Amino acid sequence: MHKGSQPTDGARLRLPEGGYKKFSNLILDANDAAKLSILCPIAKDWLRSYVGGDELISGKWRYCLWLKDIPPQDLKKCPDVIERLKRVRSGRLQSPTQSVREFAVYPTLFTQDRQPDTAYVAIPEVSSSTREYIPMSLLPSDVIASNKLMIVPRATLVDFALLTSRLHMSWMRTVSGRLKNDYSYSPSVFFTFPLPKVNLTTLDPHAQAILDARANHPDATLADLYDPDLMPADLRRAHRDNDRAVDRLYRRSGFASDRERVEHLFMLYEQMVKPLLAQKPKRRRRS
């Protein structure tokens, strides 16, 4: 697990009199993307869906210019894109961060490219604590994940089933950080989550059932689907079935409460880190 890609595209410049001037450079909303496609039809092939935590949950996806390996002679055919790249270069040169200033010579690229070439699980970095489950998705590699998403490359249905389970949600609520009252998901939540030593592929149909239930409501956003009062019955049943299946992989009898889930996970966590603690060198006492 790691964060998505960071554009640092000079879209916000500090004004001498105070405040900021905003530009649309590598990141575009739907209107800007439509205008660019009309002004320069070739640029339509360079636009990719661009999704952060807010976009994933709200369904209001944005777009980005993904210009890796685009020949310069093609870029020259689109003056609007050339103007955007000039602003990217200028904005990066004004950054207080040295590594960003140095990256000004690569205006066609994101400053941090972590985009996987496979499908991935996408988890919002920040999400509301009022939801029973963090809204997450399996996304294809051509959807560019922003740095406001946590992503798991080479993801499978098993990964999705585990991460969206009540067991993992219980662990997340216990060990994750907070942004005000919202959950702040980080890789430490993922990497410390203990896994059972059993065959996990039995979870595949449960993960697929969740995705199928979502597909039954094509006009609903994840915000709609995971509203605690509005969650569709078929989606809730699919999650409940997945929760029971995951619970029973960890303990055949399942769990009566979230507290039991967390207590069991911490027991597994202690077993997981015990070999590491045994290898820790002892400090020498000073004479």
Q: Report residue 113 CA to chain centroid gap.
A: 14
Q: Which residue has the tokens 């969650």?
A: 231
Both structure tokens of 116: 């996987």
Strand partners, 153: 120
Q: For the segment 244-263, what is each residue's pLDDT rounded down to a tens digit?
A: 999 999 999 999 999 999 99
List CB contacts of 208: < 8 A, sequence separation 6 or more: 157
List CB contacts of 245: < 8 A, sequence separation 6 or more: 161, 202, 203, 206
Say which range, 64-68, 224-228, 269-273, has the weakest mean pLDDT.
Answer: 269-273
On whether the CB atoms of residues 192 and 177 are closer than 8 A, the answer is no
64: closest CA among 4, 117, 15?
A: 4
Mean pLDDT for 127-139 is 95
How many Å apart are CA 104 and CA 106, to the nearest integer? Answer: 5
Give the CA angle between residues 27, 30, 34 to the nearest 5°: 100
pLDDT value at residue 180: 87
155-168 core/surface letters (b: 16 or more CB in 10 A; e: else): bbbbbbbbbbbbbb
Strand order in the sheet with 137-139: 2-3, 149-153, 120-124, 137-139
Give the ranges where the chain is alpha helix by DSSP (H): 30-39, 53-58, 72-75, 79-93, 98-102, 157-163, 166-175, 187-192, 204-215, 222-225, 233-250, 258-279
pLDDT value at residue 16: 72
60 DSSP assignment: -
Please state, as a whole number, how many other Cβ atoms lie within 10 Å of the Cβ of residue 145. Answer: 27
6 DSSP assignment: B
How many Å apart are CA 69 and CA 211, to the nearest integer? Answer: 34
pLDDT at 234 over 90: yes
Kindly list the domain boundaries of the chain, sorted by start residue: 2-105, 156-279
Report the predicted TM-score, pTM, of the whole model to 2 decimal places.
0.89
pLDDT value at residue 13: 66
pLDDT value at residue 10: 83
How many Å apart are CA 100 and CA 9, to the nearest integer? Answer: 10
Q: For the segment 8-41, what is each residue's pLDDT rounded down to a tens digit?
A: 998 876 667 777 667 789 999 999 999 999 999 9
How many Å apart are CA 187 and CA 172, to the nearest integer? Answer: 11
Mean pLDDT for 186-210 is 95
pLDDT value at residue 287: 55
List CB contacts of 91: < 8 A, sequence separation 6 or more: 9, 10, 11, 12, 13, 23, 25
On whether the CB atoms of residues 105 and 25 are closer than 8 A, the answer is no
Q: For the segment 154-186, what is each residue's pLDDT rounded down to a tens digit?
A: 999 999 999 999 999 999 999 999 888 899 999
pLDDT at 99 over 90: yes
* Higher pLDDT pick, 242 / 280: 242
How many Å apart are CA 214 and CA 207, to the nearest integer? Answer: 11
pLDDT at 89 over 70: yes
